[in-house]
């Protein structure tokens, strides 16, 4: 699916920089924008910020950007990385998908093509998702495995839950996160195992490598546990 616009100009300069055409990379980048992106109020600029510099570099690669990556320091001195670019046409296109400035608590349903939904979801997972696994302290041979998505907007996660149910046949459960400022859509072992092959449906897809590797390790432990070839191991966690 592709979308083309009549190129508008200001003083002879085109407003559009991003080639707006749905693909696995474009959908992944949209997922990242939904999680860690920001639409400025000027109607033109888009900012993407991550603690992981490689994630910002991957975002730029997916959209073919040449903007620079700069460090960004919090009041506590913690560093993150961001890139910013201006593109009126792309900005308007994102508005049409359902995004808006200050979107974190107002976002709800989005217009994502079915064909690229799981590419979008993988991008959102890399930005605002987590995976963790551990051995149950009571049932010693029971290995727990979870995948979850986090947002400050409950309507958005309700929409996401519905889309995942329709497309993957897994329901998950939605509840407030630990600090009560965010909501969490979580999928436990059986459902997470159905979801993973849809998120990573072939090699070479854009993704955050460390999260993918943690998922592969969890799936391998489960596979070996079922075959009786593995004993108890230390828990690991990926955020």
* Same domain flag for 99 and 45: yes
Of the candidates 41, 76, 104, which is a domain's last residue?
A: 104
CATH code of 197's domain: 3.10.28.10
Does residue 16 surpass a pLDDT of 90? no
pLDDT score for 227: 57
Closest of 89, 67, 84 to residue 18, by C-alpha: 89
If you average pLDDT over residues 183-204, what whole number do you get? 96
Burial of 239 (0-12, 13-18, 19+ CB in 10 A): exposed
Report yes or no: 98 and 54 within 8 Å, Cβ to Cβ.
no
Neighbours of 34 (CB within 10 A): 26
Alpha carbons 88 and 209: distance in angstroms, whole number: 31
Cα distance from N-terminal residue to C-terminal residue, the chain: 32
* Same domain flag for 83 and 136: no
Domain-embedded: residue 113: no
Sign of CA dihedral 103, 105, 109, 114: positive
If you average pLDDT over residues 50-66, what whole number do you get? 96
Domain that holds residue 158: 124-238
If you average pLDDT over residues 200-221, what whole number do you get? 95
pLDDT score for 12: 45
């Amino acid at each position: 699916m592709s979308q083309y616009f009549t190129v508008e100009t200001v003083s002879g300069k085109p407003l559009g920089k991003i080639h707006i055409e749905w693909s696995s990379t474009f959908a992944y980048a949209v997922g990242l924008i939904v999680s860690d992106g920001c639409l400025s109020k000027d109607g033109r600029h888009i900012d993407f910020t991550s603690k992981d510099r490689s994630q910002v570099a991957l975002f730029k690669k997916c959209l073919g950007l040449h903007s620079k990556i700069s460090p960004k320091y919090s009041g506590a001195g913690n560093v993150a990385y961001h890139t910013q670019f201006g593109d009126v046409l792309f900005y308007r296109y994102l508005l049409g998908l359902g995004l808006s400035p200050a979107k974190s608590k107002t976002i709800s349903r989005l217009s994502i093509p079915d064909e690229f939904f799981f590419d979008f979801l993988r991008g959102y997972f890399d930005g605002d998702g987590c995976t963790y696994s551990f051995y149950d302290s009571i049932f010693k041979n029971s290995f727990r495995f979870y995948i979850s998505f986090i947002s400050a907007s409950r309507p958005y996660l309700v929409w996401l839950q519905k889309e995942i149910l329709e497309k993957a046949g897994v329901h998950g459960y939605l509840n407030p996160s630990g600090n009560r400022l965010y909501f969490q859509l979580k999928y436990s072992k059986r459902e997470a195992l159905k979801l993973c092959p849809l998120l990573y449906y072939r090699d070479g897809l854009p993704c955050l490598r460390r999260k993918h590797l943690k998922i592969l390790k969890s799936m391998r432990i489960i596979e070996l546990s079922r075959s009786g070839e593995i004993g108890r191991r230390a828990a690991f966690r990926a955020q």
